[in-house]
């Protein structure tokens, strides 16, 4: 394979909802460019893209697949991303290391929630977008309606470059309004028959051609002037205008294909090769120091590793983008993140499971290396005199969690090692060993995302595991002031223990003053603040500890022990054993013994006095509340709304967003446990949601009573 220069390389992310036909389209592209000799199919489980056993088991993509095709002396690196929202991590990664996104639309459904989500990510990362309508041979395909949906969602920037003469099972021809030609295909697809546009289509084609010329001219002042003078542009000028429009996100061209029949695929690749921006024309990446790094072949050698996969019969394959300079076989590089040295023994360009060995890759190109010693996803390898690091990929928050444990208790360590390794492959799997909940938690993007993790553990690693509902991280607090005192006295032989603590507890809010007096059962207690400590708690909220001891009834050296006793109780609240927070404690009196008082005595006295006061201070359980945004098709709005209300949701607002409804709500975490599964079945997989932690709020009384009962029963059992 020849060495491609930076200005001959294009990096493209292929996105689209599940079922839009990405894997089939990729097969056609690889076939047309000669990478494969025959097209596989998803049904036959012999495609280049979905080649992992788990993908063949479930019948759709789980991992992104890196591919390359050579076309007209250009190299197109394509990353085919899974369609399911559960595997959004792959989409985010792909968009960060590519320069243009193709969003594939299913001819049957047009714009879906997945389309919206993918578009939102391209918007966030400022990437050019091409819309591609696939499956034009589907009997339910309505191209004009899809075009309408696209324009409604994304405005006048949506500009068709092609339209089909007819859709449905008989589809075999389209009009290209950039080249002003008719393309038609024989039943086997492949090379088109190119003819003049028939007279009956000329008016429609001319109208669309004019709109395209105008859109192309809009993005370049020189072209605009020329357009006003001549009312037309040459083919090359139009290409230039479209390219600039793509870079500025000033236009979103629409193409047509039928991937399953290999119709329109060559023309698409022609456009990708001739028109979409080169690596060198796109904004430069920034390293962690905020410095722009140009994809310059003469710059220092720097590789960013964006994906790791464990492949059958090979082991670990590490995928990288050459950010600067060039990489050759045998290069010795330094890992900027881990400090280790690494030799690049062999370099490959890949097409799914097919690998082609190359000697060199230049800036902007994408390749793979195998059997590296110490390279993880997100690491940067540099040559001499270069210390670049990159961390530009930001992943979305998790939406689905499960507690995980091995069926055989002895396998805990083995399980953790495998989980941490799997996270290298997919950083949106988050592994947490919760000290608070005493569970190992795996967090992911959805039920299917975690089901995939379990399948791989059991089938690839032969480790049987079980999932459980994760416990909820409740918090405890108090709602009124209370007082208590406690004397700890113990005599054993010569040495004894003695400590007595009198204290007041009350709920704490930021900035609240300390009263001069407190009144309990008609008795007044005067307060003189001698010292205040504010301790931010690692689980959220605060403990404020006030020393109000007058006359030396307790020696100052015992105060840290009292606070230690209180802290130990905060770590295990009296109601449900959950962490307690937002409490102010005032120690105002007590007693000590000249011989028997020691730190442990005051620690125990402080702990027990606090526990008693807490129970009398109107204790309440708090639960985590999340901000949730749900994107749902209009026709399923009622069902989704009804379901949310059954989950104790507080609806905060509704709005229409480009053909879909957006619901904003506050929902307790407890009620979100299997929400991704419920939402998918309510909407036939056409909705999505995002959630992030908002606050802790009081639980309703009936929920609190049940939680306390359950905790007491559990304590009795133990």
pLDDT along the chain (718 residues), means of 10: 91 91 89 81 61 60 84 92 85 93 94 88 94 94 94 92 94 94 92 95 94 86 78 81 92 95 93 90 91 94 91 82 95 94 93 85 95 90 93 87 94 94 85 92 90 88 93 94 94 81 95 92 92 93 94 91 95 90 96 90 96 94 95 88 93 83 94 88 84 93 91 82
Helix ranges (H only) for 142-220 are 143-154, 199-217
Dmax over CA atoms of the chain, in Å, equals: 114
Q: Give residue 61's pLDDT.
A: 64
Q: Give residue 659's pLDDT.
A: 66
Q: Note the pTM of the prediction, 2 decimals.
A: 0.81
How many helices and strands in the chain, by DSSP H and E?
Answer: 16, 40
Give the pairing type, strands 531-536 and 542-547: antiparallel
SS3 26: helix
Q: Give residue 544's pLDDT.
A: 96
C-alpha 623/C-alpha 695 separation (Å) is 8
C-alpha 621/C-alpha 477 separation (Å) is 6
Residue 91 contacts by C-beta under 8 Å, 6 or more apart in sequence?
Answer: 13, 15, 64, 81, 82, 118, 121
Phi then psi dihedrals of residue 235, to 5 deg: -60, -45
Phi then psi dihedrals of residue 248, to 5 deg: -85, 0
Which 8-state DSSP code applies to residue 215? Answer: H
Token pair in block for residue 348? 């490959």
Which 8-state DSSP code applies to residue 33? Answer: T
Give the closest residue to 11 by CA, choosing from 80, 61, 62: 80
C-alpha 349/C-alpha 347 separation (Å) is 7
Token pair in block for residue 667? 């929902």
- Transcribe 577-632 into DSSP letters: S-EE-SEEEEEEEEE--TTT--HHHHHHHHHHHHHHHHHTS--EEEEEEEEEEEEE
Q: Give residue 63's pLDDT.
A: 77
CA torsion 268→276→658→637, rounded to 10°? 60
């Amino acid at each position: 394979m020849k060495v491609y220069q930076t200005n001959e390389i294009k990096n493209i992310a292929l996105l689209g909802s599940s079922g839009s036909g990405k894997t089939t389209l990729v097969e056609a592209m690889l076939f047309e460019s000669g990478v494969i000799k025959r097209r596989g199919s998803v049904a036959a489980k012999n495609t280049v893209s979905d080649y992992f056993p788990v993908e063949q088991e479930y019948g759709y993509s789980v991992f992104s697949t890196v591919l390359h095709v050579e076309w007209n002396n250009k190299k197109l690196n394509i990353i085919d991303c899974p369609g399911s929202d559960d595997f959004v991590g792959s989409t985010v990664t792909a968009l960060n290391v590519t320069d243009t996104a193709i969003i594939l639309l299913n001819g049957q459904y047009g714009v879906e929630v997945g389309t919206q989500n993918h578009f939102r990510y391209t918007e966030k990362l400022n990437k050019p977008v091409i819309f591609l309508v696939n499956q034009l041979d589907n009997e339910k395909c309505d191209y004009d309606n899809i075009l309408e949906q696209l324009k409604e969602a994304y405005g006048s920037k949506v500009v068709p470059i092609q339209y089909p003469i007819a859709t449905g099972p008989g589809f075999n021809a389209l009009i290209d309004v950039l080249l002003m030609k008719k393309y038609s295909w024989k039943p086997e697809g492949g090379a088109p028959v190119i003819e003049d546009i028939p007279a009956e289509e000329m008016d429609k084609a001319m109208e669309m051609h004019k709109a395209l010329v105008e859109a192309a001219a809009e993005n370049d002042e020189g072209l605009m002037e020329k357009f006003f003078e001549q009312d037309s542009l040459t083919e090359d000028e139009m290409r230039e205008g479209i390219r600039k429009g793509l870079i500025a996100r000033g236009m979103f061209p629409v193409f047509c294909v039928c991937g399953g029949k290999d119709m329109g695929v060559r023309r698409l690749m022609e456009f990708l090769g001739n028109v979409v921006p080169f690596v060198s024309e796109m904004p430069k990446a920034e390293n962690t120091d905020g410095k722009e790094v140009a994809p310059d072949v003469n710059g220092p050698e720097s590789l960013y590793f964006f994906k790791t996969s464990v492949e059958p019969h090979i082991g670990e394959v590490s995928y990288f983008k050459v950010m600067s300079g060039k990489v050759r076989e045998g290069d010795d590089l330094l890992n900027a993140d881990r400090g280790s040295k690494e030799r690049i023994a062999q370099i490959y360009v890949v097409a799914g499971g097919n690998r082609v060995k190359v000697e060199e890759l230049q800036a902007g190109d994408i390749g793979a290396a195998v059997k590296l010693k110490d390279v993880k996803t997100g690491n940067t390898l540099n040559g001499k005199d270069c210390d670049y690091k990159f961390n530009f990929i930001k992943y979305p928050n998790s939406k689905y969690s499960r507690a995980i444990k091995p069926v055989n208790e002895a396998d805990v360590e083995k399980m953790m090692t495998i989980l941490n390794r799997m996270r290298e492959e997919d950083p949106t799997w988050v592994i947490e060993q919760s000290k608070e909940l005493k569970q190992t938690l795996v967090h992911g993007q959805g039920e299917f995302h975690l089901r995939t993790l379990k399948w791989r553990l059991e089938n690839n690693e032969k480790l049987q595991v079980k999932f459980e509902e994760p416990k909820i991280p409740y918090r405890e607090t108090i709602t009124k002031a209370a007082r208590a005192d406690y004397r700890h006295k113990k005599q054993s032989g010569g040495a004894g223990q003695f400590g007595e603590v009198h204290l007041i507890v009350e709920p704490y809010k930021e900035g609240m003053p300390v009263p001069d007096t407190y009144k309990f059962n008609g008795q007044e207690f005067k307060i003189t603040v001698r010292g205040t400590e504010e301790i931010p708690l690692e689980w959220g909220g605060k403990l404020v500890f006030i020393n109000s001891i007058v006359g030396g009834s307790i020696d100052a050296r015992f105060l840290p022990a009292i606070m230690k006793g209180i802290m130990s109780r905060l770590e295990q609240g009296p109601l449900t054993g959950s962490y307690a927070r937002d409490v102010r404690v005032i120690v105002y009196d007590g007693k000590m013994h000249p011989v028997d008082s020691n730190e442990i005595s005051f620690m125990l006295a402080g702990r027990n006095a606090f526990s008693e006061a807490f129970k009398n201070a109107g204790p309440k359980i708090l639960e985590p509340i999340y901000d949730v945004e749900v994107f749902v098709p209009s026709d399923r709005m009622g069902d989704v709304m009804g379901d949310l209300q059954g989950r104790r949701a507080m609806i905060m607002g509704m709005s229409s967003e480009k053909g879909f409804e957006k619901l904003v709500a506050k929902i307790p975490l407890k009620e979100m446990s299997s929400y991704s599964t419920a939402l998918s079945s309510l909407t036939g997989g056409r909705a999505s949601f995002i959630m992030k932690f908002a606050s802790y709020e009081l639980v309703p009384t009936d929920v609190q009573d049940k939680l306390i009962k359950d905790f007491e029963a559990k304590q009795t059992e133990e």
